Structure 1
Amino acid sequence: MSAAPPDNDVLWARGIVKSHQGTPALRGVSLGVREGEVLAVTGPRGSGKSTLLGCLSALLPVDEGEVWFNSSPVHTLGRAGRERLRRDRFGFVGSEPHLVPELTARENVALPLLLAGAGGKAAYTAADEWLERLDIGELAKVRPERLVQGQRQRIAVARALAPLPPVVFADDPTAPLHRETAEQVLRILTSAARSHQLTLVLATHDPELVRYADRTVALVDGRLTGPAAPVPRGPAAPGMTGATAVPAAGR
């Protein structure tokens, strides 16, 4: 086994290869993600962005190569180990919300906290806080079937953030949203990550959204084509003002 990655890399991949039914999706990708960083992975549809996030988040086993999380090997874990890692350490937001239809918005957001052993009061308090921060507090008692897609997606973002996982993966999370709503949700997502020192790995094909990241890398045909230009934080990014910063949770 090779040496572990640098201590300041919360995620680290070396030479990862992944195919889907014989079709190459990743072709020897190596990447480090620093603790507390907001990293955007860009590229056209079909470039391997979702597969890369799947491998980094332990959703998909790699065919070849190594993936590390906090200096612990992920690529050697079996299915049960990968499931525990995702449940206990990672948050995930996809382009579809995948909410539990029988549960209200509040119950959906509280669910991962309850599964992790949090008490009911703490779980529901956190759920209420995050729904308010995403401007959907009034929908707490509403079930997903009565909501429009943009509202459901905000609930999915709140659900990913409520447990304050060390790493949040966001795979094209604003795809179903109108531009104004997409910008607002991404501002909240990135500012929440920074205020809580979470690492955020964001995959997007929208070049307008990468300005919210600290750094970008580009994927084309399953290969990294080199880092994009650094993107400044905070005031240099349009719309990022002190008013949008998310305060630390009172828990």
Structure 2
Amino acid sequence: MVAPPDNDVLWARNAHYSHRGSPALTNVSLGVGEGEIVAVLGPRGSGKTTLLRCLSGQLVPQQGEVWFNSSPVHTLRPVARERLRLDRFSWIDPEPRLVPELTVWENAALPLLLKGTSHRAAKHAAAEWLERLDVGMLARKRPHALLQAQRQRVAVARALVAMPSVLFADEPTAALHCAEGAQVLRTLTTAARTHRITVVVATQDAEVAAHADRTITLQDGRRVTALGASDEADRGGRAECSLSV
């Protein structure tokens, strides 16, 4: 087992994972630098979510290795991987998964509260991110009273509130209209570049991938090179709308 390059905060080598005998990832290797925004582009079923889950320690590759800050993630016990996800990583799902019993600000502050941050400090930090995402006025409401796009903004605030080392975003704009998706992307990219947060985003949309520093493409669980471009998204594809940020 050889440690990855020092300049890679995330590193996977020959990662392989199968779901019920069906390969989801086959010998995928990837290095991600600190503060880099990397898009994982590919159609549905190409292995994007599986790759993000392996990189974040939610899944352990059945073959291959995953490293974070030169420490092996794939050899950690489940409790240690859970602690790593709480302390250093954050995650955004395609559909916002908020705790229905909690208010908006409590949902946004949850990562800090779980770490033992004081109630006052956690509430203040959550309020700042909710304001940046234009949902600050909803802080005392509960998720059922929000529109889908508003719930997704709260989920984004929750992912950013603790200033993670790495933010994993699985189709974060899939359920949003174009303008709303553009705001989510703007907030993510601005936060990443300002605070040196590493972002790995899975997407089917080449317009979303175009805002990353670098794009890798998956097809049938394998890493491929887009036609006419080395390790970049195919910019010639048409999208239904532009997510300019």
- What TM bracket, shorter-length normalisation? over 0.9
The residue matched to 1:123 in structure 2 has which SS?
helix
Of 206, 224, 228, which aligns to 2:232? 228
Task: Tell me by how many angstroms 1:8 deviates.
Answer: 0.9
Q: Report the identity percentage.
A: 61
- The residue type paired with residue 123 of structure 1 is A
In structure 2, what is the Cα distance between the partners aligned to 1:169 and 1:145? Answer: 25
With the length of structure 2 as denominator, give the TM-score of the two structures: 0.93
CA distance in 1 between counterparts of 2:223 and 2:243 reads 27
Q: Which amino acid aligns with 1:190?
A: T
Q: After superposition, what is the alpha-carbon deviation per residue over 1:127-155, rounded to whole angstroms, capped at 9, x for unaligned? A: 00000000111110110011111110000
Partner residue of 1:249?
none
State the partner residue of 1:29: 28
Residue aligning to 2:92 = 93
**Residues 187 and 212, structure 1, Cα contact 8 Å, conserved in 2:** no
Structure 1's unaligned 5+ residue stretches are 232-236, 241-251
User: Which runs of 5 or more residues in structure 2 are unaligned?
Assistant: 226-230, 236-241
Pairwise CA distance, 1:120? 1.2
TM-score normalised by structure 1 residue count: 0.90
| 8 Å contact from structure 2 (residues 208, 243) kept in 1 | no
How big is the shift at 1:230?
A: 10
> What do the CA deviations read for 1:13-39 (whole angstroms, capped 9, x no partner)?
000000111110000100000110000
Once the two structures are TM-superposed, the CA of residue 221 in structure 1 deviates from its matched residue by 0.4
Matching residue of 2:157: 158
Distance in 1 separating the partners of 2:183 and 2:97 = 21
The aligned residue for residue 19 of structure 1 is: 18
Instruction: Flag the 1:22–1:182 CA change in 2: closer, same or farther, 3 A.
Output: same
Contact 1:215/1:230 (<8 A) preserved:
no
Aligned to 2:66: 67
Alpha-carbon distance between aligned partners in 2 of 1:239 and 1:172, rounded to the nearest angstrom = 16
Residues 179-220 of structure 1: per-residue CA shift (max 9 Å, x gap): 110011111111111101000000000111112100000000
What is the aligned partner in structure 2 of residue 127 from structure 1? 126
The whole-number CA distance in structure 2 between the counterparts of 1:165 and 1:23 is 33
Indicate the SS of the match to 2:207. coil
Contact 1:39–1:201 (CA under 8 A) maintained in structure 2: yes
Using the TM superposition, give the Cα deviation of residue 116 of structure 1 relative to its aligned residue in structure 2, in angstroms: 0.7
* Equivalent AA in structure 1 for residue 28 of structure 2: V
Q: What is the alpha-carbon root mean square deviation over aligned residues?
A: 1.5
| C-alpha spacing 1:161/1:176, structure 2 compared with 1 (3 Å) | same
In 2, the alpha carbon distance for the partners of 1:114 and 1:230 equals 42
Counterpart of 2:103 in structure 1 is: 104
1:147 aligns with 146
How far did 1:81 drift? Answer: 1.3
Matches of 2:233 and 2:96 in 1, distance apart?
Answer: 31
1:10 CA drift (Å): 0.3
Tell me by how many angstroms 1:238 deviates: 7.8
Q: Is the 8 A contact 1:167 1:200 kept in 2?
A: yes
